[in-house]
Chain A
Amino acid sequence: MSQSPVGQPLDRVDGPLKVTGQARYAAEFPEAGLLYGSVVNSSIARGRIIRIDASAAEAVPGVELVLTHQNRPPVASYDEPYEDDDAGDGSPFRPLYNDRILYSGQPVALVVADNLELARYAGSLVKIEYASEPHHTDLRARLDSAHQAEVDLPPPRGDAAQALSEADIRLDVEYSTPVEHHNPMEPHASTVHYLAGGQLEIHDKTQGVQNCMRYLEGVFGMEGKIRVLAPFTGGAFGSGLRPQYQLVLAAMAALKLKRSVRVALKRQQMFTFGYRPRSIQRLSVGADNTGRLQALTHQAIGQTSTFEDFTEHEVEWTGMLYDCPNVKLDYQLVPLDVYTPLDMRAPGAAIGVYALECAMDELAYAANVDPLKLRLLNYSERNQNQDKPYSSKALRECYQQGAERFGWSRRSPEPRSMREGNQLIGWGMATGVWEALQMPASAKARLGADGKLVVSSATADIGTGTYTVMTQIAASALGLPMNRVDFQLGDSSLSTAPLEGGSATVSSVGSAVQQACAGLRQKLLDAVQQMPVSAFAGARLDDITFADGSMTLTADTQQSVELAQIIAAAGEQEVEVSVEPGKERDNYATATHSAVFIEVQVDEALGTVKVSRAVSAIAAGRVVNPKTAGNQIVGGVVWGIGMALHEETQMDHNLGRFMNHNLSEYHIPVNADIGAIDVLFVEEHDDVVNQLGSKGVGEIGIVGVAAAVANAIYHATGKRVRGLPITLDKLL
């Protein structure tokens, strides 16, 4: 019997399409007569549009339309239709709604022309007169306008203030992290096909086709007339969780002109919507003189827009990652004249755990305890935020196996005690954690007359391997070879799926796929029992093995029937299921964990940093595909290194505008910045989290990495830099 594909490091099923250019992305769907839109963005951060002079643009031959708030089609005038599945509290941004400017880079016009070059050129001719108003974009300068974030933080436990005052060791430290932008390779784009009858069929760059469909239906009052497709998404990292303005603008132009329209954003325009918010975080740590935690307080202050409150899980990790009797968490927001932040890979954890894990490193030195031993000393068996046990938690194994792979035991504890020539060597580590979510999801499975199993759900593959792992799960459930299973996604007309995010797709959609296939197994058994093959009469599913395209009595393997035969006799079989998270999950806390070990080389005189080695040990339950999962962790580690050393969107607060808005000046790591990355998945069995026992790996790879790099830099140099990114000037 052939091996189940689940757990195998299989190549991506969509790989050949991608490397041969056959996988089409949102801006790549052709159509005769397609028009091209180019967005004009505001140059001021706050104020009003006084006058728009589009005459020069309109006079350019080939220009079809200059769309502004003054001539756009009618749109909804109340907030609810704009509140997509990832909206925060407040009043969502409405593209081209009125004359108000809420942030620099806000779309103020769309020029539509016969080709892209004309549209861009005509865009440069649109003259817009503004009445500027004073703006505020600097979080630190506006801390006095902070308000409490509307989130359900765990209530304080114990008395942190008292415990801090009595602690042998007390640290009060502040960390800061900058604005960062997602920058997926594929810029946001929408191709809106205007169909006869006024319906819209849209190829969009998104992590949620149904989210975009519902949003547009509401905004334009077009229920049932919109279909959104995204068979391929060229990376997103959270930037595709909300419908972005190019989608609305393209739809507006299509409706106004009754023509098909494409709007693709330039790289510079990828800096004109959501981002990871800047944060200022204050931690107080109290411990006894052995390093045992007595108290933790963590206050985070993040930025948001003037029109929406963006919140993320930033400080909760501090209440759950370590065993600590006295904890107080606080989270505040400062509204600024900027766009609303947006979930970005491991939202909240990426920056919150960075601060916590640096503070733990500082405690390790203060208590004179090895940083890894300190983590073990304070290991938590229960999630104290929820007062629940974990469904599984193999973090100890991550620490142990990661440390062994890295060679941590050979570390010399003193800072500045390891060097090679001009280079100071530093070894640092940190813990990572992310929640193991499951959302309601649906899937449909159909075994056809051609012997192919087609499984579908309106989820997305943002490069993570969704096509591949869903195919593996379905192939495994029905005992079919991979090449007889076809998984379909990225179509709003498919079975309902949640947004593709939060590391929940395998858990949510994977469970639905598995259940749909389980339903199909029952149907096939029922069908067999209607056939004259009597050996299966009275058999139950438990008695049967599905393998190699056949159904076989486990107790008597001579009794076997090919699935194709059943279909030939009984016709196509189809099952659609909706799966809710299991009730048993309520009794447990569910999370993924990691241990990250980093080696850096720091030039003592020049401050340059190179991450020469990284080991990331991951506990994420059952890994459906170690290859695609490993890719995700490697990507997360690279990003964590970038977060530690390179990434920062720089705002000119006088202008209220991001200025390094391109990939030349917004630095992400290049190959030459990255040394060896070693990923290992530790064994973690979990019957609670879902029937697959799989937790998802999209976020965990980045969490803790920046802290491990910062801690390694401290070990190398003796310098504690508490603001990211750690550029060479901070180490001189």
Chain B
Amino acid sequence: MNPFSYARPTRIEEAISLFGPQSRYIAGGTNLLDLMKENVERPEQLIDITQLPLKSIEETPEGGVRIGALVSNADLAWHALIERRYPLLAKAILAGASPQLRNMASTGGNLLQRTRCYYFYDSTVPCNKRERGSGCPARDGLNRIHAILGHSEQCIAVHPSDMCVALAALDAVVLVTGPQGERRVDFRDFHRLPGDQPERDNTLADGELITAIELPAAGYAEHSAYLKLRDRASYAFALVSVAAALEIDGGIIRSARIALGGVAHKPWRCTEAEDALVGEPAEQSAFEQAAQRILQGASGFEHNAFKIELSQRAIVRALTEATEGTAA
């Protein structure tokens, strides 16, 4: 860990004005501090944002919910409003990390956690995401946990978050403030695919700060499921995860949302597959078709091709569970 300076502003504008070329905002620090200890991140300044007024959960006039960026993952998952109206989000959060980490980790920080690709984390080996142009040993190496969708020549890493998979399915909006003012970013546009800039995980500009997440009114509370498949029952990142949400009327699907985790550089949505489900009976054959549509174009590497079949089955299972009704 390199030496750094530390500031703890109390106002948002102050935090933004402090931000320099080698600054990082820090909230829970559950990922950033690890990365600093491994010399992956070497900020010269840490701007501790935990004193900013971003800790509330409020209903919006549109019938949705606005979540302050500093609400802890634990507080969010156990919030009555979230449990009742967005059980998919609560379940996804609780599928991730450990209670201790969820107590520390913030809502905004969860969006910004970085891939757990082994090569990214080991600063003695090449990694295009860590050091542009150095190479990607994962392509011909240990790639069991890597992407099957949207990967590039430069990078096959996946986004590690569970919470973000649910937020993607729920069509959340990310509220951002920065040197250029405020803006709203649709969740699907917040994270990005690696392309030839794998060092960039998302579309935030330098100095921009996430202030809140907004959820629209539709929470799919009756028919949703979060299914996470991993190598042990807790404290492991998803090999494949599925956030499935349905609106069903008389056995017919009126609206469908499906997001995948563990398979791409960002939570994966396929609106074409979702749209095709509308009007179909909520049954196995429709789910299988949707899964096939989502996975069209998926391609694996030496050790992760199984994720394609696993995703297919997981999507069908999650949609089946959602149809049966959100589990208590």
- Which residues, 583 to 635 on A, are CB-close (under 8 Å) to B? 605-608, 610
Number of A-B contacts (CB under 8 A): 84
The yes or no answer to B235 lying at the interface (CB within 8 A) is: yes
Contacting residue for A728 out of B2, B137, B310, B316, CB 8 A: B310
**Complex contacts, B239 vs chain A, CB 8 Å:** 728-729
B142-A659 in contact (CB<8A):
yes
> CB-CB contacts of A23-47 with B at 8 A, as 1s and 0s?
0000000000000000001010000
Given contacts A606-B229, A652-B142, A660-B118, contact A121 B310 (CB under 8 A): no
A43-B306 in contact (CB<8A):
no
A665-B116 in contact (CB<8A):
yes
Residue of A nearest to B143 (CB): A652
A664 to B231, CA, bound (A): 11
- Which residues, 135 to 183 on A, are CB-close (under 8 Å) to B? none
> CB-CB contacts of B44-81 with A at 8 A, as 1s and 0s?
00000000000000000000000000000000000000
A665 to B137, CA, bound (A): 17
**Complex contacts, A652 vs chain B, CB 8 Å:** 118, 125, 137, 141-142
B229-A608 in contact (CB<8A):
yes
The yes or no answer to B226 lying at the interface (CB within 8 A) is: no
**Complex contacts, A661 vs chain B, CB 8 Å:** 122
The yes or no answer to A124 lying at the interface (CB within 8 A) is: yes
A650-B310 in contact (CB<8A):
no
- Which residues, 76 to 124 on A, are CB-close (under 8 Å) to B? 117, 120-121, 124
**Complex contacts, B118 vs chain A, CB 8 Å:** 650, 652, 659-660, 665
Report B309 CB to chain A, min CB distance, Å.
Answer: 6
A671 to B98, CA, bound (A): 12
- Which residues, 666 to 699 on A, are CB-close (under 8 Å) to B? 667, 669-673
Report A507 CB to chain B, min CB distance, Å.
Answer: 35
Given contacts A120-B1, A121-B2, A664-B116, contact A43 B124 (CB under 8 A): yes
The yes or no answer to A276 lying at the interface (CB within 8 A) is: no
**Complex contacts, B125 vs chain A, CB 8 Å:** 43, 652, 655, 657, 659
B231-A124 in contact (CB<8A):
no
B233-A121 in contact (CB<8A):
no
The yes or no answer to A646 lying at the interface (CB within 8 A) is: yes
- Which residues, 5 to 47 on B, are CB-close (under 8 Å) to A? 37, 39
Given contacts A121-B1, A654-B137, A665-B118, contact A610 B313 (CB under 8 A): no
The yes or no answer to B234 lying at the interface (CB within 8 A) is: yes
**Complex contacts, A727 vs chain B, CB 8 Å:** 231
Residue of B nearest to A120 (CB): B1
A408 to B204, CA, bound (A): 59
**Complex contacts, A729 vs chain B, CB 8 Å:** 144, 239, 306, 310
Given contacts A121-B1, A655-B125, contact A672 B231 (CB under 8 A): no
The yes or no answer to A533 lying at the interface (CB within 8 A) is: no
**Complex contacts, B3 vs chain A, CB 8 Å:** 121
Contacting residue for A672 out of B2, B122, B234, B313, CB 8 A: B234
**Complex contacts, B317 vs chain A, CB 8 Å:** 422, 605-606
Given contacts A665-B118, A667-B231, A670-B234, contact A606 B310 (CB under 8 A): yes
The yes or no answer to B272 lying at the interface (CB within 8 A) is: no
> CB-CB contacts of A512-524 with B at 8 A, as 1s and 0s?
0000000000000
- Which residues, 417 to 432 on A, are CB-close (under 8 Å) to B? 422
B141-A606 in contact (CB<8A):
no
Report A423 CB to chain B, min CB distance, Å.
Answer: 13
Given contacts A667-B236, A669-B232, contact A732 B2 (CB under 8 A): no
Residue of B nearest to A43 (CB): B124
Given contacts A659-B122, A665-B116, contact A606 B314 (CB under 8 A): yes
Report B257 CB to chain A, min CB distance, Å.
Answer: 21
The yes or no answer to B119 lying at the interface (CB within 8 A) is: yes
- Which residues, 302 to 319 on B, are CB-close (under 8 Å) to A? 306, 309-310, 313-314, 316-317
Top 7 A-B residue pairs of the complex, sorted by shortest distance between their CB atoms: A672-B233, A43-B124, A659-B118, A729-B306, A652-B141, A672-B234, A673-B233
7 extra A-B contacts, CB within 8 A, seeds A654-B141, A660-B118, A661-B122: A121-B2, A606-B229, A650-B118, A655-B137, A657-B122, A670-B234, A672-B234
By a beta-carbon cutoff of 8 Å, the part of chain B in contact with chain A is 1-3, 37, 39, 116, 118-119, 121-122, 124-125, 137, 140-142, 144, 229, 231-236, 239, 306, 309-310, 313-314, 316-317
Give 12 A-B contacts (CB < 8 Å), ordered by A residue: A121-B3, A607-B310, A610-B233, A652-B118, A652-B141, A657-B124, A659-B142, A667-B232, A670-B232, A672-B234, A673-B233, A732-B310
